[in-house]
Amino acid sequence: MSLRERKKEKKINEIMNSAMGLISKKGYHATTMDDIASELLMTKGSLYYYFKDKEDLVFYCTKQLLGESIQQAEEIERLDVNSHEKLHKAIVVHMEYLLTERSGFEIGSKPRSFFSGEKLDHVVKLRHDYASCMDRMIEEGMASGEFEQGDVKVKRNLLLGAMNYSISWYSLSGPLDITETAHKSAEHLMKMFVK
Amino acid sequence: MSLRERKKEKKINEIMNSAMGLISKKGYHATTMDDIASELLMTKGSLYYYFKDKEDLVFYCTKQLLGESIQQAEEIERLDVNSHEKLHKAIVVHMEYLLTERSGFEIGSKPRSFFSGEKLDHVVKLRHDYASCMDRMIEEGMASGEFEQGDVKVKRNLLLGAMNYSISWYSLSGPLDITETAHKSAEHLMKMFVK
Amino acid sequence: MSLRERKKEKKINEIMNSAMGLISKKGYHATTMDDIASELLMTKGSLYYYFKDKEDLVFYCTKQLLGESIQQAEEIERLDVNSHEKLHKAIVVHMEYLLTERSGFEIGSKPRSFFSGEKLDHVVKLRHDYASCMDRMIEEGMASGEFEQGDVKVKRNLLLGAMNYSISWYSLSGPLDITETAHKSAEHLMKMFVK
Amino acid sequence: MSLRERKKEKKINEIMNSAMGLISKKGYHATTMDDIASELLMTKGSLYYYFKDKEDLVFYCTKQLLGESIQQAEEIERLDVNSHEKLHKAIVVHMEYLLTERSGFEIGSKPRSFFSGEKLDHVVKLRHDYASCMDRMIEEGMASGEFEQGDVKVKRNLLLGAMNYSISWYSLSGPLDITETAHKSAEHLMKMFVK
DNA sequence: GATGAATGAGGGTTCATTCAT
DNA sequence: CATGAATGAACCCTCATTCAT
């Protein structure tokens, strides 16, 4: 990759980080292209050199976010440990990622409000992939007898909800740091699964 | 109450229901006053006869939602049953209410983005009241030895997140009806608390 | 006139007074039909029983205001005193009327912004009548040798401007009452005319 | 200053001139942002690139208007001539400025209806500064014996009213041009002051 | 590549006006 | 007659988007 391309790539990442931060803090509609640009000392217009439009920018953010989450989850899935440890680790990693990046946003949970056409399909697929990976871990645990039987989808959704909401209540100024919060939460949540 | 007043009251409720439904589906900013009005075959302007502005309308929605939730929870708190049954019932009722009204929305969880001044204070207080009621039930269970010890706030927040997210994934066309979903979820979630 | 008609007449006058007071205080556009009505403990809708529309209401206010001013001025014109006394008295009466009723408003000076068609013609005519009466008093003084010669129209306009502006600066809480203000002003202004 | 900046400055001035012209003709509320923009063949939205909102635009208009008036008046105050000549010149300059710019408007006289907070304070201060300068000239004349004694504030207000009203009656198609009108008026008005 | 400037669609809000009851 | 309710046009303002320089 040429120097120029690397510079562009870097810029793109900066923009996406700015966007994700702002959107997760203020919400999609309350975040303007101006907000995103001025955080980077750019002008609104420049963003359009890197992204076709706002939907595009947000799509790539969502894609990256979900993509990394999936990758992390799948790596964990492949670990040679029991289901309990896998799911526990998946929860910890998910929450640490969420709280560190401060970037789990509404977009993921209501894709139909933000995307259409191919982009919507893509996001839906990624969400599905992530959910499937979670489901497989849960099913594995049930099959091996580690976890109690039960409706996998319901359990997985309760789990996702519990984890994702943390971005709304976790406070840097609170008594727990991110790692502690993630681990405490994981321990509590795992009790939903074990026998 | 006169006929006129009852009609007005009814209209107000219709507007609030329309608003809550749309906002919980599309989000606050994506829901326009036009959307809300046209769902009721009214014109935008008419809404302003009943509510001072959009913030006002949403405030009363939030207030009613949280108010009723608190009332339900406090009634449950006063029941003469053990902590397990109380919390279980609270979860079921919360989820049934949420899924029936289709009205648990972002507003409750990020009041600072939507309200200011007295309205903000009021909503924050209501949220606090609801959380406190939950906390008391959890603490009671811990004190009586029914529940495992643990960080009450973290547990309560995980619980709230898990419950509230249901509005995003529950589907009327799915295999479970609302009551079943609520009960299943309650059983799963209660495992976080019991020894 | 029947009782009913007298009642109606009275109501009409109340409405006009309310309208004039508010408009002179807040301006035409900033005064809403609601403002006018609620000052009289009526509802907006009722006003339309008495006046076709806002323009109509304001037209009758203007007409009455200018009509009374003209009548007063013409009575003074007919007095059997010298021109100095006449003009002096005209100024005093004009200002007292203005400051008492608090009702000299923008409408009079920019009729073209508020009226059209016959109403505009009528108001323009009334304004002209009032100006003419002033002009005649001034001309009479010039003819009799009491007043210095000079451009009558310019003098009359300066005079009107000076008088009408008083509504902006006169304060009930100031050191002078209305009568004193009117007399002081008249004395100062008369110096523009005398030799 | 770069070309860009000069162009922007120019545009800002064009907008302010358009605004002042329309507002002095039709009044603040009757002048829409659309009116102002379309006179300059721009779209409404563009105005907001230059001014935060309507209040802001009008504030800067008022500020410039009053600011220049004060500067002119203070320069005249510093001239080494007698009070009569000073006040006479001040009147001429004020009226010429007013009639040339077509921009003396209601705003100045009822700032409380249009501004709030710091903007209001600023406008009130400017009005006070201008009035004070006038007052000093009048007092100087009284002290030197050129002018008759009398209530300075009342005289100044009558003077301001007479001058400012000219924008309502002066007509380019009339027999007098602006300079003639200003001079004639000044001569008439000065008679209020001299012994 | 970046920026300043312009645009236009659309959202929230106000208000004169109408009308059934 | 009066009122509550509804309407719709018009206004202020925002913001994603475009484009010449």
Cβ of residue D64 closer than 8 Å to a chain C Cβ: no
Distance CA A181, CA B1 (A): 52
Examine the pLDDT at D154 and tell me if it is beyond 70: yes
Architecture of the CATH domain B53-190: Orthogonal Bundle (1.10)
Instruction: Please tell me whether residue C169 adopts helix, strand or coil conformation.
Output: helix
Phi-psi region of B104 (alpha: psi -120 to 50; beta: other; left: phi over 0): beta
Task: For CA atoms D1, D5, D10, D16, give the dihedral sign.
Answer: negative
Q: What is the pLDDT of residue B106?
A: 63
d(CA B153, CA B133): 12
Specify the pLDDT at position A78: 96
Q: Do C99 and C182 contact (CB within 8 A), yes or no? A: yes
Say how far apart CA B53 and CA C116 lie, in whole Å: 35
Q: What angle do CA C63, C68, C73 make, to 5 degrees?
A: 125
Q: Half-sphere exposure (CA, 13 Å, Cβ side) for A103?
A: 18
Kindly give, in sequence order, each residue whose CB lies less than 8 Å from that of residue B46, ignoring residues fewer than 6 positions away: B37
Residue B11 has which token pair?
């209209």
Q: Which of residues 138-157 of A touch B (CB under 8 A)?
A: 150-151, 154-155, 157
SS3 state at A32: coil
CA dihedral D141, D147, D151, D153 (to 10 degrees): -50
pLDDT of residue B158: 97
Please report the pLDDT score of residue B4 as a whole number.
82
Please say if the pLDDT value at position D90 is more than 80.
yes
Q: Are C62 and C107 in contact (CB under 8 A)?
A: yes
H or E element, residue D160: helix D152-169
Phi/psi for C16 (5° steps) reads -65, -40
Q: How far apart are CA D43 and CA D18, in angstroms?
A: 13
Q: For all residues of chain B together, what is the average pLDDT?
A: 92
**Residue D35 CB neighbour total at 10 angstroms:** 16
- How much is the average pLDDT of D175-193? 96
Closest in D28, D165, D181 to C160, CB measured: D165
Q: Which of C191, C109, C94 is nearest to C150 (CA)?
A: C191
| Integer Cα distance of B59 and B123 in angstroms | 8
Which residue among C29, C176, C189 places its CB closest to the CB of D29? C29
CA atoms within a 13 Å half-sphere pointing along the CA-CB vector of A80: 0
* Domain limits, chain C: 52-190
Question: What amino acid occupies position A6?
Answer: R
Superfamily of domain A54-190: Tetracycline Repressor, domain 2 (1.10.357.10)
> CA D54 to CA A44: how far, in whole Å?
24
How far is Cα A27 from Cα A64, in angstroms, rounded to an integer?
A: 18
Residue–nucleotide distance: A124 CA to E9 C1' (Å): 29
d(CA D25, CA D167): 9
- Give me the amino acid identity at C47: L
Over pLDDT 90: what percentage of chain D?
75
Which one of A123, A159, A169 would you mutate to disrupt binding with B, by most B Cβ within 10 Å of its Cβ?
A: A169
Instruction: Please give the Cα distance from D135 to D141 (Å, whole number).
Output: 10
User: Is the model's pLDDT at A89 over the cut of 80?
Assistant: yes
pLDDT of residue C114: 85
Cα D185 to Cα B41, C108, C192, distances in angstroms: 62, 22, 10
Class of the CATH-defined domain C52-190: mainly alpha
pLDDT digits (tens, 9 = 90+) for A133-171: 999 999 999 999 999 999 999 999 999 999 999 988 998
Which residues have a Cβ under 8 Å from the Cβ of D15 and sit 6 or more positions away?
A: D36, D40, D47, D50, D51, D57
Question: Is residue D100 predicted with pLDDT exceeding 80?
Answer: yes
Tokens, residue A135: 């489901």
Q: Retrieve residue D30's tokens.
A: 């009757």
Report the half-sphere exposure of C172 (CA within 13 A, side-chain side). 4
DSSP string, A128-188: HHHHHHHHHHHHHHHHHTSBPP--HHHHHHHHHHHHHHHHHH--TTSSS-HHHHHHHHHHH
**For strand E, which nucleotides have at least one atom less than 7 Å from a protein CB?**
1-20
Can you tell me the distance from the alpha carbon of D88 to that of A18, in angstroms, rounded to the nearest whole number? 63
Q: Tell me the three state secondary structure of residue B167.
A: helix
pLDDT at residue C102, rounded to an integer: 67
Angle formed at CA B159 by CA B157 and CA B160, multiple of 5 degrees: 65
Strands (E), B10-75: none
Chain A residue with minimal CA distance to B185?
Answer: A154
Say yes or no: C98 contacts chain D, CB-CB below 8 A.
Answer: no
- Is residue A104 predicted with pLDDT exceeding 70? no
Q: How many degrees, rounded to 5, is the angle at CA B106 between CA B105 and CA B109?
A: 115
pLDDT tens digits, C150-179: 999 999 999 999 999 998 889 888 899 999
pLDDT of residue D108: 65
Is the distance from CB of D109 to CB of D122 less than 8 angstroms? no
Nucleotides on chain F within 7 angstroms of protein Cβ: 1-20
What's the first-to-final CA gap in chain C, in angstroms? 52
Average pLDDT, stretch D21-30?
88
Tokens of D118: 């710091």
SS3 C162: helix
CA neighbor of C140 nearest in space, from C73, C68, C55: C73
pLDDT band, very low/low/confident/very high, at B108 (cuts 50, 70, 90): low
User: Nearest residue to F9, CA vs C1'?
Assistant: B45
Decide if pLDDT at D110 tops 80.
Answer: no
Question: pLDDT for B3-21, tens place per residue?
Answer: 888 899 999 999 999 999 9
pLDDT digits (tens, 9 = 90+) for B22-71: 998 888 999 999 999 999 999 999 999 999 999 999 999 999 989 999 99
Of B78-87, C2-11, C45-54, the poorest mean pLDDT is in C2-11
**How many Å does it take to go from CA D16 to C1' F13?**
19
CB contact under 8 A, C181 and D154: yes
SS3 at position D53: coil
Beta-carbon contacts below 8 Å between C and D: 100
Q: Return the C-alpha torsion angle A5, A6, A11, A13, nearest 10.
A: 120
Task: Identify whether the C-beta of residue A73 lies closer than 8 Å to the C-beta of residue A94.
Answer: yes
C-alpha span between D38 and D18 (Å, rounded): 10
In this complex, which of A106, A162, A181 lies closest to B162 when CB atoms are compared?
A162
Contact criterion met (CB below 8 Å) for A65 and A108: yes
pLDDT tens digits, one per residue of C86-127: 999 999 999 999 888 766 666 667 788 888 888 999 999 999
Three-state SS at B194: strand
Alpha-carbon span B73 to B61, nearest angstrom: 18
**Residue bearing tokens 């009044």:** D27
Contact B169 A181 (CB under 8 A): no
What is the average per-residue pLDDT within A78-87? Answer: 96
Q: What is the mean pLDDT of residues B157-186?
A: 93
D132 touches chain C (CB under 8 A): no
The band of B146, judged by pLDDT with boundaries at 50, 70 and 90, is: very high
